[in-house]
Amino acid sequence: MSIIFDEKKKVFKLDTPNTSYAFHITNSKHLLHLYYGKKIPETDLTFLLRIPNDEPFVPATHDAMGPHSFDCAPIEFPTSGVADFREPSMQLMDENGMSACECYYKDYKIYKGKKPLKGLPATYGDEDDVTSLEVYCHDPLNGLEIILQYSVFEKLDIITRSVKVQNKGKSPLELRRLLSLSVDLDHKDFDMITLNGTWARERHVERAPLRFGKQVVDSCRGATSHAHNNFIALCDHKADEDYGEAYGFALVYSGSFISGCEVYQYEKTRVFSGINPYDFSWHLKIDEEFQAPEVIMTFSYQGLGQMSRNLHDVIRQHLIRGKWKDIRRPVLINNWEATYFNFDTEKLIQIARDAAQAGIDMLVMDDGWFGGRSDDTTSLGDWYVNEEKIKGGLKYLVDEVNKLGLKFGIWFEPEMISPDSDLYRKHPDWCIHIPGRYRTTARSQLVLDFSRKDVRDYIYSRIKEILSSANIEYVKWDMNRQLSEVGNEVLPAIRQREIWHRYVLGVYEMQERLLTDFPDLLLENCAGGGARYDCGMLYYSPQIWTSDDTDAIERLKIQHGTSMCYPCSTMGAHVSAVPNHCVGRTTPFQTRGHVALVGTFGYELDITKLSDEEKSAIKEQIAEFDKYNFLVRSGDFYRIGNPFKSTRFDAWEFVAKDKSEALLQYVQILKTPSLFLHRIRLKGLEQGQYYRHEQTGKVYSAEILMNSGFDIPNLWGDFHSYLAYFKKV
């Protein structure tokens, strides 16, 4: 059994194949954290607590537990205002304006399987995959019931956590914060890894030793953001890809968040993650409840590589859903970088014709097909086909594209409204706004109030009509700005601060509706590139547009950073035109292909302008994609190079789960003179076995490939790439 309760010692112990997590109920009914790390056999772990009784200058509580200083204790679910001065998970205001709250244990339940979280994305699994624990707690003074939710994946080193609160008291309560995760770790000797950046430079890896005090990444933008991802990792100072201890924490949420650590005076670390309490509150009437999002946790004692592989497995197997989860996805060509807004039916058909000949599977019509939109200043919200551009109508275009043998996909930006749109002229109150206050635009657009059902219903009806009008098999759902002046004229004052979270719930509800009505649809999320690349969105779309930066060299860093948490199969990656539209760099066609092969693979260029040689290169690239797609989609990913540390090269590898094949990919960044062939050590092969290198036919032992390495042939010039495929003999 992966979750046990030791009645005598009052210890809950959660075991995955290689990790253990434990906490204890004290005599005073407090929950104290005992352990999270490599698997341990015993459950009698209360001796680990080491709580001082009366530390000088630390308030001491006296209760059934005896005198103890709360501020020193590892608390499983820390609450505010009760002499634990560290980052709390919960804060609320009662009708008397009091904000202290507590969490006392009442009861528990262990069951096979996992319940969905109402209205929120979450990992799932059946009774063979996962066991769950609910710990029922309460605050007797205000009547709040607190349910701590844990699930353990039986075959993966993954534990999830969340919390739900219910107001069972006699008066309304105002929830001011409810974080999803708090873990008190027993020391402070960690590096924290965060993924940061900006537009076109998302999820660059930053690693720094923890300092005393709080260090966080957050967003108060209503979306995860380009600036910071909500995933964080902690590892020991010496940990690298293959050695050392590493914890990973991924929040399954797409709105404003906070994730971070506090190193406190006793030289220990509290890790936390959840909805950002900044500008958040939630009114809980009697009997109302609030569900916090889920956090996925993993621990690896085999370095950051294994941490990432654990997360990749749970995301691929237990978060992503639907028809496209485990099958080859179409190779698409998107017209954005080819035409931007300047296209019509004829141009799209020309692209489709050449794309069909090159073996591409799907044409995606990007921004600019609706209302009067010819640039980014108008028409968001006017989801009517612009028949001046799409001459003959959408159905005609889609039918023609289908006749050429291509599927058809379409771009929407459902959450937005242009002030210059018919929809805005009719409903100026439908955007998020504060009456009387200036409405800040970004990219000339405002954000529709998706916390409102009437607004969602209207937009959904437009999307549904468009999707039902022709054979549309893919949607790119974009979101190109963040939220400001957050308010509306619908909710009462006490519920205004709920809009941030209600908005996110609205987005989730819309995507759920879309997938219910169109179960075969392939959905790709996007937010000005990768501003909403998170586990929340991956519950709805198996792929996300990684970044608007499609330059192969910039992508090395972006994809390396993204892979810290997210599987390669989720990364929207295309071969695009050169010089690249973000950096002006020219890279070889082959390198662009190899870098895009890491992700979903597709094209983002005007194929009609390519040379015959490049067009036949596309055929070869698609053949390569087909050959390696299963391995890339389902295999284990190993980072070998580090583009943040080396300007010489990057390299990575996919190894089949059964170790029968491996694909090594190498990109020479800047050519370095007077160095011999670059010898790269492979990882993850089966010891004692032999592998044939396909291109040369040479057979190597796994040991030589992993301990000495494989010689990359000499590549002449910057930005060239090489791909080596090995099959077990």
324, 351 Cβ separation under 8 angstroms:
no
Smaller CB separation from ligand GLA, 71 or 548: 548
433, 427 Cβ separation under 8 angstroms:
no
CA angle 615, 473, 503 (to 5 degrees): 120
Contacts (CB under 6 A) with ligand GLA, residues 209-268: none
Could you give the CA distance from residue 629 to residue 654 in angstroms, rounded to a whole number?
Answer: 10
CB of 478 to ligand GLA, least distance (A): 5
Indicate the pairing of strand 649-655 with strand 661-668. Answer: antiparallel
For residue 215, count CB atoms less than 10 angstroms from its CB and return exposed for 0-12, middle for 13-18, buried for 19 or more: middle
Sole window of 30-38, 225-233, 302-310, 523-531 interacting with ligand GLA (rule: CB under 6 A): 523-531
Sole window of 522-530, 593-601, 644-652, 695-703 interacting with ligand GLA (rule: CB under 6 A): 522-530
Which residue is associated with the tokens 């958040």? Answer: 280
x-marked contacts with ligand GLA along 402-421 as a string, rule CB under 6 A: ---------x----------
CB of 602 to ligand GLA, least distance (A): 12
Could you give the CA distance from residue 19 to residue 155 in angstroms, rounded to a whole number?
Answer: 11
- Concerning whether 548 is annotated as a catalytic residue, the answer is yes
Smaller CB separation from ligand GLA, 74 or 602: 602
CB of 440 to ligand GLA, least distance (A): 19
Residue 7 makes CB contacts below 8 A (sequence gap 6+) with none
The closest residue (CB) to ligand GLA is 367
CB of 384 to ligand GLA, least distance (A): 18
Sole window of 210-218, 503-511, 524-532, 576-584 interacting with ligand GLA (rule: CB under 6 A): 524-532
x-marked contacts with ligand GLA along 343-372 as a string, rule CB under 6 A: -----------------------xx-----
93, 176 Cβ separation under 8 angstroms:
yes
Strand partners, 690: 701
Smaller CB separation from ligand GLA, 188 or 347: 347
Could you give the CA distance from residue 309 to residue 569 in angstroms, rounded to a whole number?
Answer: 12
The secondary element (H helix, E strand) that includes residue 69 is strand 66-69
| 129 sits near ligand GLA (criterion: CB under 6 A) | no
698, 669 Cβ separation under 8 angstroms:
no
| 548 sits near ligand GLA (criterion: CB under 6 A) | yes
CB of 367 to ligand GLA, least distance (A): 3
678, 690 Cβ separation under 8 angstroms:
no
CA separation, residue 289 to residues 167, 493, 506, 670 (Å): 6, 19, 17, 56
| 606 sits near ligand GLA (criterion: CB under 6 A) | no
Catalytic site residue from 184, 478, 534, 636: 478
| 653 sits near ligand GLA (criterion: CB under 6 A) | no
| 478 sits near ligand GLA (criterion: CB under 6 A) | yes
Smaller CB separation from ligand GLA, 276 or 559: 559
Smaller CB separation from ligand GLA, 200 or 662: 200
Smaller CB separation from ligand GLA, 409 or 643: 409
| 477 sits near ligand GLA (criterion: CB under 6 A) | no
Smaller CB separation from ligand GLA, 180 or 546: 546
x-marked contacts with ligand GLA along 479-518 as a string, rule CB under 6 A: -x--------------------------------------
Q: Which of 244, 274, 528, 542 binds ligand GLA (CB under 6 A)?
A: 528
Conformational region of residue 425, where left means phi above 0, alpha means psi within -120 to 50, and beta covers everything else: alpha
Size of the site for ligand GLA (CB under 6 A): 11
H and E: helices and strands count for the chain: 12, 41
Could you give the CA distance from residue 542 to residue 561 in angstroms, rounded to a whole number?
Answer: 18
Contacts (CB under 6 A) with ligand GLA, residues 63-122: none
Smaller CB separation from ligand GLA, 110 or 479: 479
Smaller CB separation from ligand GLA, 308 or 550: 550
Contacts (CB under 6 A) with ligand GLA, residues 303-342: 336
| 34 sits near ligand GLA (criterion: CB under 6 A) | no
Could you give the CA distance from residue 644 to residue 280 in angstroms, rounded to a whole number?
Answer: 36
Could you give the CA distance from residue 104 to residue 138 in angstroms, rounded to a whole number?
Answer: 5
| 382 sits near ligand GLA (criterion: CB under 6 A) | no
| 293 sits near ligand GLA (criterion: CB under 6 A) | no
Signed CA dihedral, 233, 502, 124, 523: sign only: negative
Catalytic site residue from 354, 367, 548, 606: 548
The string of DSSP letters for 313-362 reads HHHHHHT--STTTTSPPPPEEESHHHHTT---HHHHHHHHHHHHHHT--E
Sole window of 483-491, 521-529, 624-632, 710-718 interacting with ligand GLA (rule: CB under 6 A): 521-529
Could you give the CA distance from residue 469 to residue 384 in angstroms, rounded to a whole number?
Answer: 11
| Chain contacts with ligand GLA (rule: CB under 6 A) | 336, 366-367, 411, 478, 480, 526, 528-529, 545, 548
Q: Which positions are annotated as active-site residues? A: 478, 548
